[in-house]
């Protein structure tokens, strides 16, 4: 009887570990490819693999595919008009985003995925979608805005400032950011992460987070009170919380 109990426990342990295998494999392959195209540094790839694994385990394949869409948009946005941004001195390093940048943009989504798995509440998946959509929106709005405009408006007082100034916004960048938020949220629907009825909430949460990010940049980052990574983290947190509350 004791042997039978131990066998059953061993089988239960194997069954519990079964979902971990595809999550680890997919995460490692994705991280390696992200590093290969210089979307992330080595440290960023390691952090990204961890985030990817948490998203996959907590929210399923749909969350992973949404993450891929975020990576694709931010990778393209970073390289859009790169020479112009180099002249402005605002271009991101072509070696890719660091571990801290990856965590700042994706940690909230990974945390919400974990809460979804633990609580079995689908509303946390909406928070995942909104947070990932905000991460894409913020990066795309900033990168496209800097590539297409020499000047921007400081969101706190509408003063004209050089493109790339913390808290600076432009119509071009804002529209691009909204489009990015809508695209990622739509991918969330298509992959089954969230139902269609939540599409608008995900988009609104992401755009609100993007705007909050700009205000935090103008009021706190510009004064060296917060770092850019802290502002990015808070932007995704605003998006997730607003979507959750709504």
Q: In the prediction, which pLDDT does 21 show? A: 84
| Separation between Cα atoms, residue 164 and residue 78, nearest integer Å | 13
Rg (CA), the chain: 19
How many C-beta neighbours within 10 Å does residue 160 have? 10
Q: In the prediction, which pLDDT does 52 show? A: 96
Q: What is the pTM of this model?
A: 0.90
Longest CA pairwise span in the chain (Å): 78
From first to last of its 246 residues, the chain has per-residue pLDDT tens of 444 344 334 333 333 344 788 899 999 999 999 999 999 999 999 999 999 999 999 999 999 999 999 999 999 999 998 888 777 777 777 788 999 999 999 999 999 999 999 998 999 999 999 999 999 999 999 999 999 888 899 999 999 998 889 999 999 999 999 999 999 999 999 999 999 999 999 999 999 999 999 999 999 999 999 999 999 999 999 999 999 998
Q: In the prediction, which pLDDT does 81 show? A: 87
| Separation between Cα atoms, residue 79 and residue 94, nearest integer Å | 8
Torsion angle defined by CA atoms of residues 140, 146, 147 and 148, in that order, rounded to the nearest 10 degrees: 100
The angle formed by the CA atoms of residues 215, 92 and 64, to the nearest 5 degrees, is 80
Contact 47, 34 (CB under 8 A): no
């Amino acid at each position: 009887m004791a042997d039978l109990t131990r066998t059953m426990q061993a089988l239960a342990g194997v069954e519990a570990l079964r979902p971990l295998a595809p999550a680890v494999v997919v995460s490692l392959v994705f991280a390696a490819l992200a590093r290969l195209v210089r979307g992330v540094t080595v440290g960023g790839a390691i952090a990204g693999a961890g985030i990817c694994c948490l998203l996959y385990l907590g929210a399923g394949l749909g969350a992973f595919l949404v993450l891929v869409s975020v990576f694709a948009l931010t990778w393209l946005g970073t390289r859009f008009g790169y020479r112009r941004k180099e002249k402005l001195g605002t271009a991101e390093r072509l070696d890719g985003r660091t571990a801290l940048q990856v965590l700042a943009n994706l940690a909230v989504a990974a945390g919400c995925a974990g809460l979804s798995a633990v609580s079995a509440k689908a509303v946390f998946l909406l928070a995942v979608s909104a947070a990932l959509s905000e991460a894409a929106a913020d990066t795309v709005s900033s990168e496209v805005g800097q590539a297409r405009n020499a000047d921007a408006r400081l969101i706190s007082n509408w003063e004209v400032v050089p493109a790339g100034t913390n808290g600076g916004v432009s119509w071009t960048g804002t529209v691009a950011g909204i489009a990015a938020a809508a695209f990622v949220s739509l991918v969330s629907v298509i992959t089954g992460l969230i139902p269609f009825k939540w599409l608008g909430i995900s988009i609104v949460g992401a755009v609100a987070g993007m705007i909050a990010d700009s205000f935090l940049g103008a009021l706190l980052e510009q004064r060296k009170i917060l770092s850019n990574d802290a502002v990015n983290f808070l932007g995704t947190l605003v998006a997730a919380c607003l979507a959750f509350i709504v």
